Each structure stands twice: as structure tokens, then as C-alpha cells.
Amino acid sequence: MIGILGAGALGRLWAALLPADQVGYLSRPEASLSGQDVDYIFESISGEEHPIHLSPITPETISVLLVTTKAGDTLTALQHRMPAIPLRTPIVLFQNGLGSQQSVAEAWPDRPILAASTTEGANRPTPERVIHAGLGKTWLGPMTPSGRQCVEDVLRVLKQTGLELHAEENILTRLWDKLIVNAGINPFTAILDCPNGDLLESAFFQKHIGALCREMALLVAAETDRDLSPEDLQERIRDVVIRTARNTSSMRADVLRGKPTEIDFINGYLVGLGKKLGIPTPVNQLLTEQVKQLSPHSE
Ligand SMILES: NC(=O)c1ccc[n+]([C@@H]2O[C@H](COP(=O)([O-])OP(=O)(O)OC[C@H]3O[C@@H](n4cnc5c(N)ncnc54)[C@H](OP(=O)(O)O)[C@@H]3O)[C@@H](O)[C@H]2O)c1
């Protein structure tokens, strides 16, 4: 069986598109032993509605696990479930940002751990409804040595959804690219409470984006082998702001719903990395602190 750990917006998207008889979800440990069946309406990218029924499964039966919890919940969620999951089961991490993937790989270095970077977009406007809001692409690559042997098998399983998937040997590079864009958009939209496109008119964004990109360019150069100029990073961020002008970022959405954000795994990750490498990151620090003040549940 294909298992979903974290049956939220993204987990329910994969669950809806995989063959119904091959997929189930892992309930929260505090739920009753068997958990409850989950029913929801799935709105496909073309607007069609499909009723989806998802049953709880036991960890012992899982042949591929898709982990779609938020970054801050991932390690704890896996710690509860990992002992009962077969040793050869690939564990696929879908979290945005960086830091949670490395923590999982360090905790279970002998297991096949993979990370995914996806531009699919899913949201859950009500508990019983999941919308596939944006068609994207997903890249999949290994986080541990034994993960490398599983990439093709996992791709075969996930391609049953009809979504576009690719192998990515250097998945950390892919995750870095997404982190840079998220770090340059998400906290600003959360602090300013605005859709992405409004950033270009914002004095606060204009004041800080150049220095933020200089911090990120130094971190990328020190942590990876890539030499990306601050101007290049700023251009990438600007491109995405323009292409997604009407969108609400996930961080703004989390703040609006009073939920914890993933700031610790985006700008907060960059602050931690800067401390480790001796690179000052005052703008990342400022953004992290301001977002944390907006989200009472953040640690
Ligand atoms: N949504 C997207 O389009 C999208 C796209 C790319 C990447 N991502 C990334 O994917 C991750 C998930 O995003 P999302 O939007 O799907 O978030 P979400 O809707 O909040 O889903 C997370 C789910 O995990 C569940 N959960 C938390 N702790 C758990 C545990 N210990 N055991 C079992 N389930 C647990 C939550 O349950 P409760 O509902 O009970 O809290 C929630 O249903 C994030 O890192 C996000 O950045 C999302």
C-alpha cells in the first residue's frame, strides 16, 4: 500500500490521484488505534468534482510512504511511526524549505529516504474539500545512499497519478532554488498581508530585497558549489512575483488561519546556516522575527 502521513491539502491531492485501492493514510498517533475513514470532495485541475474515500492503514503494510506533514511536524510524526514501517519502505519527504529533510536523513541514515520538490498546488478551503489549484512538476531525489536505488521505483508508483515527475540526482539544489524564491516572497506577503503581486509596490519589500539577496548569494556560495549573483536571485524572485501576482503565499495563508508557519525552515533556516558559517543574515533575522510575532503557535 502507498501510505500518506499528513493527510492535509498536498497529501489528499496525491491520495485522490493515486489508484484508490492502493492508497491509505496514517492517522495521528493520538487518534484511536484504527483512525477514522476520511471522505472529501476532490476538485481536479479541470474543475471536475470527485468524491474520495481514504481509509486508515497500518504502518506495517506500507510499501511507499509519502510524508506530507508541515516541515515543523515531520520529524515528530515519523518518530512515532517509523518503528513499525518496514525497513525497505521508501520514505518520500514533500516539505518546503530546508532543514527538516536533513533531520530525517540524519535520524535514519540506513533507510531509503527521498525528498521531493513540487510545484503542484493544492488547497483545502474547508475540511471536506481539496482543490488542485495549480498544475506543476515534481522532482524526486535521494537523501540517503539507499534512497538512490528507490528513485525509479517511486517514480513509477507516483506516475500513476498522471502528474509530471522527474528524477533529480541533486535534490538539495532543487530545494535550494525553491527556498530562495520562498524566502524572498513568503515572509514579505505574510508581514504585509498582501497577495504576491503587491510586493513590487511595497516600500518595505524594496528596502530589504536587495540585502536579502546578497545574504542568500553568500550562503549559497558557501554551502553549495554554485555561484549565483544577488542580481540573479532578485530577478528570479521578481519573475515569480509577477507570474503569481494574484496568489496568496502559503505563509500568509497560515498566518491568516492562525496556524504555525514554516518560517523556521525558510528564512529561519538561512539564519541558522549563517550562524554556522559566520555569515551575517540581519534581513533574514528581521523577517523571521516579524513572521514569528504574527503566528502565536510558532516555536
Ligand atoms: N499544499 C501545497 O500545494 C504544497 C505544495 C508544495 C509543497 N507543500 C509542502 O507540503 C507540506 C504540507 O503542506 P499542506 O499544504 O498539505 O499542509 P496541511 O494542509 O497543513 O497538511 C499537513 C497535514 O499533516 C497532518 N499532521 C500533522 N502532524 C501529523 C502527525 N503527527 N501524524 C499524522 N498527520 C499529521 C495535519 O493534520 P491536522 O489537519 O490535524 O493538523 C495536516 O492534515 C508543507 O511542507 C508544504 O510546504 C505544499
Tens of pLDDT, residue by residue over 154-199, are 999 999 999 999 999 999 999 999 999 999 999 999 999 999 999 9
Candidate from 42, 62, 70 with most ligand 1 atoms within 8 A of CB, to mutate: 70
Tell me, yes or no, whether 195 and 234 share the same domain.
yes
Residue 115, in any domain of the structure: yes
pLDDT at 298: 43
pLDDT at 29: 77
Please state the φ and ψ torsions of residue 126, each to the nearest 5 degrees.
-135, 165
pLDDT at 213: 98
Q: Residue 230, exposed/middle/buried by CB under 10 A (0-12, 13-18, 19+)?
A: middle
Domain CATH number, residue 124: 3.40.50.720
Cβ atoms of residues 7 and 54 within 8 Å: yes
Rounded Cα–Cα distance for residues 92 and 75 (Å): 13
Tell the residue nearest (CA) to atom 7 of ligand 1. 96
Indicate whether 118 pLDDT > 80.
yes
What percent of the chain is predicted at pLDDT more than 90? 95
Q: Select from 147, 169, 191 the last residue of a domain.
A: 169
Catalytic site positions = 178
Q: How far is the CA of 181 from the centre of ligand 1 (A)?
A: 20
User: Phi-psi category of 176—alpha, beta or left, where left has phi over 0 and alpha has psi -120 to 50?
Assistant: alpha
30-53 pLDDT tens trace: 765 567 999 999 999 999 999 999
**Segments in 60-99 forming alpha helices (H):** 71-81
Indicate whether 299 pLDDT > 80.
no
Q: Select from 169, 204, 223 the last residue of a domain.
A: 169
Instruction: Please say whether the dihedral angle defined by the alpha carbons of residues 81, 82, 86 and 91, taken in this order, is positive or negative.
Output: positive
- What's the number of domains the chain is made of? 2
Beta bridge partners of 67: 5, 93
Tell me, yes or no, whether 273 and 137 share the same domain.
no
pLDDT at 30: 74
Lowest mean pLDDT among 27-36, 57-66, 120-129: 27-36
Indicate whether 141 pLDDT > 50.
yes
Owning domain of residue 88: 2-169
Displacement of CA 224 from its chain's centroid (Å): 20
pLDDT at 295: 84
- DSSP secondary structure letter of residue 56: B
Cβ atoms of residues 6 and 69 within 8 Å: yes
Tell me, yes or no, whether 223 and 157 share the same domain.
no
Domain CATH number, residue 211: 1.10.1040.10
